[in-house]
Amino acid sequence: MATSVFHQPIGTAQSHQLLQNSDFRHEFGHASVKLTFKGFKVETGLSSREGFSSCRRKFGVVQASASHTSVVQPVSYPPNNSTDELRKKSSEAALILIRHGESLWNEKNLFTGCVDVPLTKKGVEEAIEAGKRISNIPVDMIYTSALIRAQMTAMLAMTQHRRKKVPIILHSESEQAREWSQIFSEDTKKQSIPVVTAWQLNERMYGELQGLNKQETADRFGKEKVHEWRRSYDIPPPNGESLEMCAERAVAYFKDHIEPQLLSGKNVMIAAHGNSLRSIIMYLDKLTSQEVINLELSTGIPMLYIFKGGKFIRRGSPAGPTEAGVYAYTRRLALYRQKLDEMLH
Ligand SMILES: O=C(O)[C@@H](CO)OP(=O)(O)O
Could you read off the pLDDT of 41-74 as tens digits, one per residue? 322 222 333 333 333 333 333 222 333 333 344 3
Q: Calculate what percentage of the chain has a pLDDT beyond 70.
A: 68
Q: Is 112 annotated as a binding residue?
A: yes
- Indicate the SS3 state at residue 199: helix
Q: Is 216 annotated as a binding residue?
A: no
What pLDDT is stored for residue 35 in this prediction?
24
Q: How far is the CA of 344 from the centre of ligand 1 (A)?
A: 40
Catalytic member of 7, 16, 68, 100: 100
Q: Is 279 annotated as a binding residue?
A: no
What pLDDT is stored for residue 75 in this prediction?
40
* 100 noted as active-site residue: yes
* DSSP string over 218-238: HHHH-HHHHHHHHH-SS-PPT
Domain ranges of the chain: 22-344
CATH topology of domain 22-344: Rossmann fold (3.40.50)
Q: Is the distance from the beta carbon of residue 206 to the nearest atom of ligand 1 less than 6 Å?
A: yes
> Residue 86 — pLDDT band, cuts 50, 70, 90?
low
Whether pTM exceeds 0.80: no
For the complex shown, is ipTM > 0.85? yes
The CA dihedral of 170, 181, 39, 73, to the nearest 10 degrees, is 40
Return the exposure string of 240-257: e unless at least 16 CB atoms fall within 10 Å of the residue's CB, then b: bbbbbbbbebbbebbeeb
> Residue 89 — pLDDT band, cuts 50, 70, 90?
low
Could you read off the pLDDT of 209-231 as tens digits, one per residue? 999 999 999 999 999 999 999 99
